Structure 1
C-alpha cells in the first residue's frame, strides 16, 4: 500500500510538473493572435513567455524554506490553488501589462508546486523505488514544452487563445483534490532563519539578467540600457555567491558546485537548454510569419520533436551503459548542434517530410542529452548535499529556459538588424538566428571534454 501511495504522489507531482512546463511554451503558436488582441508586435510578446519562466527561476530557492516552515502539504496545495486562479487571470487579461502580471503570479505558484511536490515524493518513497519516482517527475519536462506549441495552435485555430488558460481550471481543481487526499501532513521539525539578503540578491539577479536581455531584444538601437541591466544582474549574482559563502545558514549551500560531475552538468545542461529553449519560440514564428502556415499546422510540425523524445526513452540507458557519459554528451551534443543548423536550411518550399525528419532527429538528441545531464548531475553528490544540489539544478533549469526565450528574441532582432529589416521577420532572419543558436549548442559541449570516461560509472552500474 505504501508503494502504491508513493507512486500516486509521484504521478500527481508529475502532473503538476506537466502543467507548469506546458504553460511555458503553450502560448508560442498563439503569439500572433494574442499580439492582435493586445495591439503589439508578436515578437514583443516574448516577455510574456520569459516572465513566467523568470518567476519560476527566481522563487524556486525559497520553496524548501517555505515547506519547512508551513509544511509540504499546505504549501503544495496552496500553490496548486494559486496556479489555477492565476491561470484564470491570464485568460481574463485585457492588456499585455495585465497579462504579464498574471504570468508572474502563475510562475511564482509554479515555483512552489514542483520542488515542494518533489520533497513530498522524497519523504514518502522508499529508496529502492526512488529512481522510478524521479523518472515520473522529470519526464514531463521533455514532453510538455514540445506539446505546448501544437496544443496552443489547435486551441487558437478552433477557439480563442484565452482557452489555453481556462483549460487549467478543471485540471487544477482535480490536482488540488488529489493533493489534499494523497499528500501526508508531515511537518519539518528543523527550521532555519530566512536568508533575506541572499534571496533578494539571487532573485534580483535573475530579474535583471532576463529583463536586460529582453530590453536588448526589444530595441538594439538602445543596447546600452539592456546591457547595463544585464551587467547589474551579473554583479548581483556575484554578490549573492559571496554572501552565501560567508553566511552560516545561507539560502543555498554552494559547496556542491565543487563536485566535478555536478558542475559540468550544471554548466553544460544550462547552455544546452538555452539553445534548445529558443526552438519552441522561434520555430512556430518562422513557420507562421515566414512560411505562411496556420498556427495549427505549425504546431503539428513541432510534434515531430515530441515523437523523437518518446522514441529515445527506451534507448537512453543502454546507450549510456555502452558508451558512458563522456562520449554520449560529446557526440550527441554535436548531433544536437547539427540539428539546429539544419533548421537554418528550411525554406517555405521544403517538403514537410524533410522538416519532420530533422525535427524528429533533434528530438532524439534533445531527449538523450537532457537525460544524460540530469542523471550525471547527482551521481557523485553526497546525500547531505542532495537538497542543495536539487534546488540549484532546478533553478538553473528554469532560468536557462527563460534565457532561451529572451536570447531567441534577441538573436532574431540582431538578425533583422543585420539584414536591415524593420518589418516582419523573414526566412533569412530566422536562418541567421538558428546559426547563432547552434553556436551556443556547440559551446555547451566544451565542459564535457573535462569528464573522465569513468564519470558517473556508479550510477550506470545501478541502472544496468
Structure 2
C-alpha cells in the first residue's frame, strides 16, 4: 500500500463525543496561550533574572534565543510525529515537556542550565501549535473550521499584549521564578483534559522520517533564526553575519534540492502548487513582515515618546485583545458574504493604512484616540490572522493536513522573527545613534512605522492571485453537517 494513499485513522473506538468537540477548541486555545505567552513574558524580567544569576543582561539573549531556535528545529517534524504516534500522545507529550521545562527553568540557578531547560520548553512548544491545529482540522468539517480557528487564534493575539504586563507584575510583586511556575498548574490540568477529550488521529501507514531533510532544513532554519535573533546587536561582525546568513540559505537550498527527489520529504513543498495554500502561507509571511514588528514598536513609542510606564503601555495595547475577541463573532458571516479574496486584499490594505496612522501618535495625542486606534487595529488584525490561518486548509486533503500544518507553523514562526528583525532594521536605520533623545526616537519610530505600513500595503499583491470562489468550503457553513 502506498503511504500517500493511507487514510487517517479516526479516533478509537468512536468519533469524538459532543462534549469533547465543545471542549477541544478551549483545550487547544489554552495550549496556544501558554506557548504564545512564554515568548513575551520573559522579556520584562531579563534585568532581574540576569542580576539574580550573576550575569550581564546581554548574556540573557541566549535564554531568549534558545527557545526560538528550538521551535524552529522541531516544528517541521511535528506533522510526522502526529501521523506516526497519534495526535493525543504527541500533544500530551508536548504539554508534558513544556510543563517540565517550565519547572526546571523556575528552579535553575545557572544560566547554562536555564538555556538547556528553555530548549526543552521549546521542544514541547514546537509540537503544541501545529499538532493542535492538525487535530482541529481533522475533527471539524471545513465549514466549521473558520469559527473554530478564529476562536483558538485569539491567544496568539492576546498573549503578546499580556506578556509585558504579567512579567512586570510578577517581577514587581512576586519572584521572577513564578514566570515559569505559572505554566505548571495550567499544564497539569491540560494533561488531564487531553487524555479525556483529545481525539487520537494517526495515519494508517507512515513513511520513514526524512533524516537528511531534517538535518538540512533544521540546521538552515535554526541558523537563520539565530542570525535574526542577534541582528542589530553587533555581537558579530558584518562579515560573520553575512557568512552565517549565506550558509543558512545554502542549507535551505540543499533541502529544496533534496526534497524534490523524494516521494515523502520532511515537508511537502508540492503543496505550494495549490493556489489557496500558496497565497495563505506566502501572504501570511509577507504581511507579517510589516505588522509583525508592531508589538515591538508601539511599546517603545508609548514609553519613550509619551512617558508611560511599561504597565501603562501594556494597558494602551489591551484594546487590541478586546477587539480581537469581538471580531470572531462577525468574522464567519463577513467571509461568507464577500469571500476570502476581497477580505484579505482589502483588510491587508487597511492594516497598512493603520500603521501609517500609528505613525502620527505623539505627546499631544489624546489617550482616548490611542485606545480607539488600538481597538480598530485589533479587530482588523484578528480578521487577518484568522482568515490566513483557515485558508491554508481550504483545498488540502486529509492525507496532507499534517504536512500543511507543519509548513504553515514553520513559516509563521519564521515570519515572527523576520517581522521583529524588519522593525528593528527600520528603527535602526532611522535612529542611527544609540544616544538619541526622546524627540529623535519618536521621529525615527514614526518613520519606521511609515515604512512598515508601505510594506504591508505592498503585500496585498500576494492575495490578488486568489479567485472569488477560493475558500468557500471553509467560509460557507453547511447547515446539514452533523455536529456543526
Indicate whether 1:259 and 2:259 are aligned: no
Give the 5 Å matches for 1:92-131. 92-93=107-108, 99-121=114-136
Larger CA deviation: 352-361 vs 321-330: 321-330
Larger CA deviation: 169-178 vs 406-415: 406-415
Q: Distance in 2 between matches of 1:407 and 1:94?
A: 34
Equivalent residue number for residue 179 of structure 2: 164
SS in 1 for 2:464: helix
Larger CA deviation: 354-363 vs 59-68: 59-68
Q: Distance in 2 between matches of 1:353 and 1:261?
A: 39
Equivalent residue number for residue 441 of structure 1: 456
Larger CA deviation: 95-104 vs 231-240: 95-104
SS in 2 for 1:27: helix
Q: Distance in 2 between matches of 1:291 and 1:41?
A: 26
Equivalent residue number for residue 78 of structure 2: 63
Q: CA deviation at 1:230?
A: 1.9
Instruction: String of CA shifts for 1:367-426, please: whole Å, max 9, x gaps.
Output: 111122123222223333333222211211222123223333343333332xx3347883
Q: CA deviation at 1:61?
A: 1.6
Q: CA deviation at 1:163?
A: 2.2
Counterpart selection for 2:320 from 299, 302, 305? 305
Larger CA deviation: 138-147 vs 28-37: 28-37
Q: Distance in 1 between matches of 2:62 and 2:457?
A: 26
Over 3 Å counting, the alpha-carbon distance change for 1:90 and 1:431 in structure 2 is farther
Counterpart selection for 1:210 from 221, 225, 228? 225
Over 3 Å counting, the alpha-carbon distance change for 1:101 and 1:273 in structure 2 is farther
Over 3 Å counting, the alpha-carbon distance change for 1:410 and 1:217 in structure 2 is farther
Q: Distance in 1 between matches of 2:141 and 2:372?
A: 41
Question: Normalising to structure 1: TM-score of the pair?
Answer: 0.87
Root-mean-square deviation over aligned CA pairs: 3.1
Q: Which runs of 5+ in 1 are unaligned?
A: none
Indicate whether 1:198 and 2:217 are aligned: no
Equivalent residue number for residue 349 of structure 2: 334
Equivalent residue number for residue 384 of structure 2: 369
Instruction: String of CA shifts for 1:117-173, please: whole Å, max 9, x gaps.
Output: 444555666787666554544343333333323333333443344322221111112
Q: CA deviation at 1:353?
A: 1.5
Equivalent residue number for residue 138 of structure 1: 153
Larger CA deviation: 260-269 vs 452-461: 452-461
Over 3 Å counting, the alpha-carbon distance change for 1:291 and 1:168 in structure 2 is same
Q: CA deviation at 1:207?
A: 1.5
Larger CA deviation: 264-273 vs 314-323: 314-323
Over 3 Å counting, the alpha-carbon distance change for 1:404 and 1:175 in structure 2 is same
Larger CA deviation: 267-276 vs 217-226: 217-226
Equivalent residue number for residue 7 of structure 2: none
Counterpart selection for 1:381 from 393, 396, 399? 396
1:218–1:413: 8 Å Cα contact kept in structure 2? Answer: no
Over 3 Å counting, the alpha-carbon distance change for 1:348 and 1:33 in structure 2 is farther
Over 3 Å counting, the alpha-carbon distance change for 1:130 and 1:194 in structure 2 is same
Over 3 Å counting, the alpha-carbon distance change for 1:67 and 1:332 in structure 2 is closer
1:54–1:398: 8 Å Cα contact kept in structure 2? Answer: no
Indicate whether 1:238 and 2:253 are aligned: yes
Q: Distance in 2 between matches of 1:401 and 1:93?
A: 28
Question: Normalising to structure 2: TM-score of the pair?
Answer: 0.84
Q: Distance in 2 between matches of 1:252 and 1:411?
A: 32
Larger CA deviation: 21-30 vs 107-116: 21-30
